[in-house]
A and B are shown apart, each in its own frame.
Chain A
């Protein structure tokens, strides 16, 4: 009884906020105002898309910032965003044709000049965290108010999908010029406008009446409650205090199934649990030992023990539903401890070997570590774990220190697969922490994957890249995390996406 009263009071209050923001008659807006309340696991590390770093920020960034390019939820194929079309008249030129009349929340136009300003900022801003995504850009010019010509240093057909990510999130140049910047006062052209953000507590957004997609968003106000503990987030939805919780852990599916007022939404994601390997020194500079590691892991048993059997075991970075997935690699590394032992014997370490791994300290990560210690121990592979937080272990492993032989973590995926493959397996790739290239054909294969425009051609080029990675066991993937979301009875039309970072502009409330 009381929670309902509480909701209505809050709805009315937020409705009043929307009325003020939109200039609509207060009575009308109060009556119609709808608010979607989302339990969000992470407090953003800032709302400036070009300088933030956390993958979890996107859920709060997408509603505020429209992107130049968008993607299909199920397959991640590129589709129009602020740019209604794009083309490559030659391999070193990309032309973006923009929608006309797109406005930022502050009323300034999101035109060719604004896009040029934003892309140049991604390239030149000292604090830019997206320099890797736009490193192929040589210069940007405008043609009129609705065309942007991007000149490239090298062919990069992955750029359109890169522009569906942080670097394609357009920020109002006027807001960037203000002394406060946009880290805590974001101004984009997305479906909702920023209202307030209390650290580790709440982010409140209100409908952007001038959003360029007619009829969207379907909901007046969007409110994120920051609840780091996923069990608590799920309880808040069961109690009706939030409407949606996303990316809960597999063991919590049972709780969702039992709750009568919840709808379970599941799907695949690009988020893959894996060992990142340092290929520059022993033991993983040795192909046979890398292959032995891959053969020694029973991915199905790992899935059952740590993911309730809900995850998708894998040998690559692309799940089955992805447009560039290659089914011929699905059985590349079956569980074969005998083969693992044979390979170790051929490498001269018949009794097994030991390596140093960095891993996370939370309970579910430790559970994954325990299962792997057990599985690898059976063939004589021994792991010495150093546990540190996500930020610390990443900084220690990928940063200048280059600590450890491997990192047991996850790759969260990128909209375009070539970003994933080049960042992990190119010699200069940030996540190829040893910065060595053990596969002579790889640079050419990666370049080919970034040169072709046609999707079928790209699929073929990725087939080659994936095969090179798998044959050379350049990493050791385990399983794709399942998307497990739950929403209350009011929520309609909620769809997860393959990137595992929900968008809410299509969601309706009953």
Chain B
């Protein structure tokens, strides 16, 4: 069994490299297809053609696109993600400084999605058709429909500006001041988790209803097992794979959704980093951030795959 899981992990890991190359190549091409010459921008006002050509040569923009990409890829493979064209900061340093803030709010939003979504999903499924089910599914629909930036601003208005309970902006490092870091992360995480909670509730409810109506559950009821035991021991185990799938997708979606929430809360995370870099055509930073994000997404998927095989031995290599 263990060997099977290791083989699965290795096979998935081998897929990392082509996916990484494809993702960074697409972003690289997109950046270069957008009109505008970064050398002209970097040369500043009053720049002569010669000066612009110098800048173009200095940064290698005069090389064919394939050469530029391969050069970047070769350096990235050695851990050198280059430097920002704008501020000269090392891209690796920027990512290491910005990723923790994003991971903290995404992690906290995931925890909230599970902690609130799972009980509500179970409650709705076990009270199918009743008022509790109606209330929970209505709330879930609302959660899906609410734009998280709107919710974020409402939360800031109430909890930060009126009640002064939590900070309105910024972030703190978890390693330096855990209490402050968590206080800063609560409101963004709540704003992010509204959609996540709704997603977990809806998916878990429908998966549970499907299992609850299956023949083996009917048999368990016929055998006289108490409903609580059937739910916790047999039914929930069968929806574990569905829940894992939802959580995997949710994590990847939340990573992308932080862009807006980070802007509302002025969190110096990956979202704000990539937005500012994309606006400024700071190619190395955009490439580096995409590289890091794709890597995290792939590793998450890998982890989910391995967990699948642990939950359901039928998952094949």
Given contacts A228-B272, A239-B161, 15 further A-B contacts (CB under 8 A): A2-B183, A44-B87, A46-B87, A132-B45, A184-B88, A199-B273, A200-B273, A202-B268, A229-B263, A235-B168, A241-B169, A388-B36, A391-B279, A392-B34, A400-B49
Are B266 and A183 neighbours in the complex by a CB distance under 8 Å? no
Ranked 10 nearest A-B pairs via Cβ: A392-B36, A132-B46, A201-B268, A129-B44, A239-B168, A399-B40, A53-B44, A395-B40, A236-B169, A227-B266
A-side binding surface: helix, strand, loop or mixed? loop
Chain A minimum-CB-distance residue to B272: A200
Interface flags for A1-20 (1: CB within 8 Å of B; 0: not) read 11100100000000000000
Residues of B within 8 A of A226 (CB): 268
Q: Which of B45, B47, B55 has the most CB of A within 10 A?
A: B45
Interface size on B, residues (CB 8 A): 50
Given contacts A395-B40, A396-B35, contact A1 B268 (CB under 8 A): no
State whether the Cβ of B111 lies closer than 8 Å to any Cβ in chain A: no
B94 — which chain A residues lie within 8 A by C-beta? 199-200
- Count residues of A near B (Cβ-Cβ below 8 Å): 51
Best-surrounded residue of A53, A199, A226, A229 (most CB of chain B within 10 A): A199
Chain A contacts with B in 178-195, Cβ cutoff 8 A:
183-184
* Bitwise interface map of B from 51 to 84 toward A, beta carbon under 8 Å scored 1, else 0: 1101100000000000000000000000000001
A389 at the interface (CB under 8 A from B): yes
A395-B87 contact, Cβ under 8 Å, with A1-B164, A198-B268, A389-B279 = no
Q: Check: B86 CB closer than 8 A to any chain A CB.
A: yes
Q: Whose C-beta in chain B lies nearest to the C-beta of A133? A: B46
Contact present for A198 and B97 (CB under 8 Å): yes
- A455 CB to closest chain B CB (Å) equals 27
Judge whether A502 is part of the interface by a CB distance below 8 angstroms. Answer: no
Within 8 Å of chain A (Cβ to Cβ): is B210? no
- B156 close to chain A: CB less than 8 A: yes
Quick check: A225 and B266 within 8 Å, CB to CB?
Answer: yes
For residue B151, give the distance in angstroms from its CB to the closest CB of chain A. Answer: 15
Residues of B close to A198: CB separation below 8 A: 97, 268
A43 close to B (CB within 8 Å):
yes
B128 in contact (CB, < 8 A): no
Q: How far is the CB of A213 from chain B (nearest CB, A)?
A: 29
Q: B168 near A131 (CB under 8 angstroms)?
A: no
Are A399 and B37 neighbours in the complex by a CB distance under 8 Å? yes
Contact A184 B87 (CB under 8 A): yes
Q: A199-B94, A423-B45 are in contact. Are A238 and B276 (CB under 8 A)?
A: no
Q: Does B290 contact A (CB under 8 A)?
A: no
Task: Give chain A residues whose Cβ lies under 8 Å from the Cβ of B54.
Answer: 126
A361 → B minimal CB distance (Å): 10
Contacting B86 at CB < 8 Å: which of A46, A135, A241?
Answer: A46
Is the beta-carbon distance between A232 and B169 smaller than 8 angstroms? yes
Determine if B40 and A232 form an interchain contact, defined as CB atoms under 8 angstroms apart: no
Closest-by-CB residue of A relative to B170 is A241
Task: Please indicate the chain A residues that have their CB under 8 angstroms from the CB of B40 in the complex.
Answer: 395, 398-401
A232 touches B263 (CB 8 A): yes
Closest A residue by C-beta to B265: A232
In the bound complex, CA of A392 to CA of B49 (Å): 17
Convert A48-70 into 0s and 1s, putting 1 for each residue whose CB lies closer than 8 angstroms to a CB of B.
00000100000000000000000
Which residue of chain B has the shortest Cβ distance to A241 in the bound complex?
B169
Chain B neighbourhood of A216, CB < 8 A: none
